[in-house]
Amino acid sequence: MKITRLVAWPVRLPLSIPYTIAYETVSEVTNVFVRLETDGAFAGCGCAAPDKAVTGETAESVLTALAEIAEPAARGAEPLRPVRVLEAVREPLAKQPAARAALDIALHDLVAKTLDVSLWKLLGGFRDRMKTSITIGIMSPAETVEEARRHIAQGFRVLKLKGGRSVDEDVEKVLAVRAAVGPGIELRFDANQGYSIEDCLRFVDEVRAAKLELVEQPCSSSEPDLLGRITARVSLPIMADESLMSLRDAFRLARRDLVDMVNIKLMKVGGIAEALQINAVARAAGLEAMVGCMDEAALGIAAGLHFALSRPNVVYADLDGHLDLIGDPTADAVRLKNGVLYPAPGPGLGIDIAP
């Protein structure tokens, strides 16, 4: 069996509830879907969620990369030899991780479908479900508390609060949410690079009573030493997000002991194959890992979930990027119940799509 062609197409996905983080407000995204067709009975599906601010890509640049580089590399390849295809595009697409991720996800889906096994089992099958956090963007303290209560009523038990614009307001929101939801709910905080060292030290000290689980990417990714200085001086675990874009970044963060935890996002690192290597570095360094996401259709979320389910040290999930997307053609790729994500049944990622 051979891959005969790669088909890619964009889908605009408005958000039912726009959200704000430290550096932007988002009301609509475009995902690019990929289908690897073969001369046999199977097809592999993937998607890209480009983000100009994070991955440096747009839907247009992803479509061009897939048509001009990924499609020629994949055409004629054997589905059970995906690494050959991924290596062929590694250098040409070095600066387009979401495009690489789309191809990588489709290849992994195709391999698992060819072998008639669910992808999470093929990758290792450590667990069969995973609790996810749900994110609350930057809004007023009163609105944040209202959102927190709404999510708890929906069954979520882990909340991630966004901040980074005002330490005073962030402290007020964190303490207010803890008072509203009680001690049994896990709280995480993401500053999205918005803090200085002094900001972070003050924030951690003033929210001590809220018992946060972790603080994600408090300072700029352009100054990695700042992360290390914060990690060494605060009592809460510090997680790298925007500072982790590649396997080399993972090695640097681990070797220099700059963080306690890492957030692995398939769209940032280039897909499942790269995520597995990054996770191996994290495990060797004793770092806990979280699988995160961009504003991704459920197909991208499913790929992240299958990766997370396969590895024991991926102990946290922040896979909520699909929940507010309107018109997602892959909504059935994951199932959510009381804040817990389950993979779709069936081989591969459990879904098939076409333009």
Q: Which residues are catalytic?
A: 162, 190, 216, 241, 265
Contact status, residue 270 vs residue 248, Cβ threshold 8 Å:
no
Q: Containing H/E element for 20?
A: strand 3-20
Of 195, 133, 37, 139, which is closest to residue 336 (Cα–Cα)? Answer: 133
* Of 123, 136, 89, 106, nearest in space to 45 by CA: 106
Token digits of residue 277: 């290597």
- Cα separation, 89 vs 310, in Å, equals 25
Three-state DSSP at 298 gives helix
Sheet holding 25-38, edge to edge: 3-20, 25-38, 43-48
Largest CA distance in the chain: 61
Q: 3-state SS of 141-190?
A: HHHHHHHHHHHHHCCCCEEEEECCCCHHHHHHHHHHHHHHHCCCCEEEEE
Report d(CA 257, CA 198) in Å as an integer. 20
Residue 55: how many CB atoms within 10 A of its CB?
26
Close Cβ partners of 302 (under 8 Å, ≥ 6 residues apart): 330, 333, 334, 343, 344, 349, 350, 351
Q: How far is CA 285 from CA 94, 252, 254, 304, in A?
A: 25, 11, 6, 22
